[in-house]
Chain A
Amino acid sequence: MADVVVESGRLSYTGTGERARALRSLRLRDVVFHGLTLSAAVGVLILLGGVILALILGSIPSIKAFGFGFITSQTWNPVTDQYGALPSIYGTLVTSAIAMIFAVPVGLGIAIFLTELSPPKLKRPIGIAVELLAGIPSIIYGIWGLFIFAPFLQDHVEPALINVFGPIPGLSTLFAGPPYGIGVLTSGIVLAIMVLPYISSISRDVFETVPPVLKEAAYGVGCTTSEVVTKVVIPYSRAGVIGGAMLALGRALGETMAVTFVIGNADRISGSLLAPGTTISAKIANEFTEAVGDLYTSSLIELGLILFVITFIVLAIARYMLMRIERKGRV
């Protein structure tokens, strides 16, 4: 050890006293560095604790005023200081559900294409492109949704939906009303496009953990590609696929910018998917800086708390599932 110290040029090696001192300083450095890394690691825990604590403290006035009724009330009226979260929670859940309905099958399709079908030449470029797209900030999806996608839906898709589903009982309420362009359905689709790269890149990684021997064996006994996918690849990696989808769901639930542009900010629950609505994150983004009065601010913070609790549960399940597949891959 003393040699290291000599080599590093910080001390000249003269006697045992110097040597002991050098050793002590090295030991001290080790203790300090260990302590630093440990406190940073504990800091991560404190960060999460701090977020939860700050949100709870901030929502106390609103919790005191409305209690559990906050979650079930549909009123949101700053003039009379009455606040309820139901329309926002409903909007958050419905837009995310729409996003999942579109994004999971398509995302899995891309992942299967990349792992099983793609010509080797295309595999890398498409894989890289998908990963790069996963890094594009959500505000880009938002501005595209507002200026290009919403007008397109309004002019071409929504009138057709209303015409086709209008006469069918049940579906007619789902697709009722004038085509606004912006609304719940539009937000759901924009979210779907945004989470698509996450789902495909995670599922691709998960599919790649399937041992080639298993697939080769299946092909060897005469299975078709689709049989290999549905009977070998997906069963083997089911936990990971579910984990990836849950991770994407967590993103979709908490996503702010892609939604705020195209949701339309209407504080009501409408039976129609074409109608404007709101989500928790959009509501906070739109109203927080303008909120006057403690109760108004506090209600918005309580919305944030509800959102955090929902996403926390979803993300925890996702990570648990992904951890299981990781362990499997290591064996």
Chain B
Amino acid sequence: MRGMNIYNARRRSNTVSVVLYYSAAIFGIAWLVLILFALLREGFGSLSLAVFTQSTPPPGSAGGLLNAIVGSLIMTGLGVLIGAPIGLLAGTYLAEYGRGTPLASIVRFINDILLSAPSIVIGLFIYEIMVAPMGHFSGIAGAVALAVIVVPVVVRTTEDMLTLVPGALREAGSALGMPRALVINRIAYRAAKAGLITGMLLAVARISGETAPLLFTALNNQFFQANLNEPMPSLPVVIFQFALSPYKDWQKLAWAGALLITLAVLALSIMARVLGSRKATQ
């Protein structure tokens, strides 16, 4: 009789917890779906051809996001161009030359912290070392701030991907008498190519929505600007400014920009994932 009671109590408590787990999952995922849904509705409602062909308007009139889109592309591209090689080399050190050394563990630890460090602090850092000495905000400062965010992402993925390359491949190269640099360049990099590209794509996805580090490095610019020495507009900063404004036209453009960024980030992440999984099935 007593045993039956315990059995029933355990069953009841199990049912309760399982229901709780299920509802947590549904509850959590529902919020995320709600956000995406709102974004799609508002974003597509505000999207028009003018968004891609006109520059950001003065308060109270219609316009587009062309200058911000171009600015974002320039700074993101430059940021990856500066940050990715450094990250690739540092990641190579961690996975190849420095594997198992104390220096490598310290660098790995510090890199992991940089990976989630508050991006607004990176903005302050670049302000201190570039904007203040130069005396003005500039697109190049924005690109460098983004590069600082790219480095830890690429270091992490490069190390992970190179570690996955079987040691036997390297040993085969070494047995032929290839020096380390050739083994890495000709064998390890080639074997890990898809993974390395995945890392770059993730880095682009990561910085294409970054706002905080651009606020006081690249600042903003109402006009089209391709000169890296001048303040440069970017989609995230324009969204920030327009969304908090009282003008309906600006708010609509902010939604359109938010949708564009999200679509870009999702596309990049999915591309990275497809590349990564194709590699895994080989």
CB of B205 within 8 Å of the partner chain = yes
A307, B14: Cα distance in complex, Å: 42
| Number of A residues, CB within 8 Å of B | 95
> Contact at A138–B209, with CB atoms within 8 Å?
yes
Residues on B with beta carbons closer than 8 Å to the beta carbon of A39: 89
In the complex, whether B109 has a CB less than 8 A from a CB of chain A is yes
Return chain B residues, CB-CB under 8 Å to A147. 42, 243, 251, 255
Task: State how many angstroms separate the Cβ of B130 from the closest Cβ of chain A.
Answer: 10
Per a CB cutoff under 8 Å, which of B185, B219, B236 touches A139?
B236
Q: How far is the CA of A116 from the CA of B22 in the complex (A)?
A: 11
Contact status of A34 and B181, CB under 8 A, knowing A109-B28, A285-B212, A288-B215: yes
Contacts of B152 in A (CB 8 A): 44
**Are the CB atoms of A26 and B212 closer together than 8 Å?**
no
Q: Does A254 contact B (CB under 8 A)?
A: yes
Alpha-carbon distance A196/B26, docked complex (angstroms): 13
Contact residues of B between 126 and 165, Cβ < 8 Å to A: 127-129, 148, 151-152, 155
CB pair B112 A319 closer than 8 Å:
yes
State the Cβ distance, B103 to closest chain A Cβ, in Å.
7
Q: Are A284 and B251 in contact, CB atoms less than 8 angstroms apart?
A: no
Residues of B175-212 whose CB lies within 8 A of A: 176-182, 184-185, 202, 205-206, 208-212
- B261 contacts chain A at the CB level, 8 A cutoff: yes
Q: A57-B128, A227-B14, A289-B216 are in contact. Are A30 and B35 (CB under 8 A)?
A: no
- With both chains docked as a complex, state the minimum distance between the C-beta of A45 and any C-beta of chain B, in angstroms: 6
Known A110-B28, A137-B209: A311·B93 in contact at CB below 8 Å: no
Q: Which of B52-60, B63-71, B222-230, B263-271 contacts A (4 or more CB under 8 A)?
A: B263-271
Q: Specify the chain B residue showing the minimal Cβ separation from A39.
A: B89
Closest approach, in angstroms, between the C-beta of A222 and any C-beta of chain B?
Answer: 9
Q: B80 an interface residue at 8 Å Cβ cutoff?
A: no
A51 within 8 A of B: yes
Q: Are B107 and A44 in contact (CB under 8 A)?
A: yes
Q: Are B211 and A139 in contact (CB under 8 A)?
A: yes
Q: How near does chain A come to B71, taking the closest CB pair, in angstroms?
A: 15
Chain A proximity mask over B23-36: 1 for CB below 8 Å, otherwise 0? 11101110110011
Q: Which segment, of A73-81, A164-172, A255-263, faces chain B?
A: A255-263
Q: Are B114 and A44 in contact (CB under 8 A)?
A: yes
Q: Which of the candidate stretches A83-91, A100-108, A173-181, A268-276 sits at the interface with the other chain?
A: A100-108
Q: Confirm or deny: A184 has a beta carbon within 8 angstroms of a beta carbon on chain B.
A: no
Known: A41-B104, A113-B24, A281-B118. A34 touches B216 (CB 8 A): no
* Contact present for B38 and A41 (CB under 8 Å): no
Chain B 2-28: CB-based contact to A (< 8 A → 1; otherwise 0): 000000001101101110111111011
The answer to whether B124 has its CB under 8 Å from any CB of chain A is yes
Mark out the residues of chain A between 179 and 209 whose CB falls within 8 Å of any chain B CB in the assembled complex. 193, 196-197, 200
Q: Give the contacting residue for B261; candidates A140, A261, A285; CB below 8 A.
A: A140
Would you call B128 and A55 a contact (CB within 8 A)?
yes
Q: Contact check: which of B27, B98, B112 meets A106 at CB < 8 Å?
A: B27
CB 8 Å contact bits of A42-71 with B (1 = contact, 0 = none):
111101101100110110000000000000
Whether B27 lies near A37 (C-beta < 8 A) is no
Chain A residues near B24 (CB-CB < 8 A): 105-106, 108-110, 112-113
Instruction: Kindly state whether residue B76 has any CB partner on chain A within 8 Å.
Output: no
- Residues of chain A with a CB closer than 8 A to B27's CB: 106, 109
Q: How far is the CB of A11 from chain B (nearest CB, A)?
A: 14
**Closest CB in chain A relative to B174 CB, distance in Å:** 10
Closest B residue, CB atoms, query A320: B109
Of B25, B94, B205, B243, which is within 8 A of A41 by CB? B94
**Interchain CB contact under 8 A, A117 and B22:** yes
Asked whether any CB of chain A lies closer than 8 Å to the CB of B169, the reply is: no
Q: Which residues of A contact B251 (CB under 8 A)?
A: 147
Seen from chain B, the residues whose Cβ lies within 8 Å of a Cβ on chain A are 10-11, 13-14, 16-18, 20-25, 27-29, 31-32, 35-36, 38-39, 42, 86-90, 92-94, 96-98, 103-104, 106-107, 109-114, 116-122, 124-125, 127-129, 148, 151-152, 155, 176-182, 184-185, 202, 205-206, 208-212, 215-216, 219, 236, 239-240, 243-244, 251, 254-255, 258, 261-262, 265-266, 269-270, 273
Instruction: Given contacts A48-B110, A110-B28, list 8 more A-B pairs with CB under 8 A.
Output: A41-B103, A44-B107, A44-B114, A54-B125, A55-B124, A136-B265, A193-B35, A304-B124
Closest 5 A/B residue pairs (Cβ): A137-B209, A109-B24, A254-B118, A40-B89, A226-B17
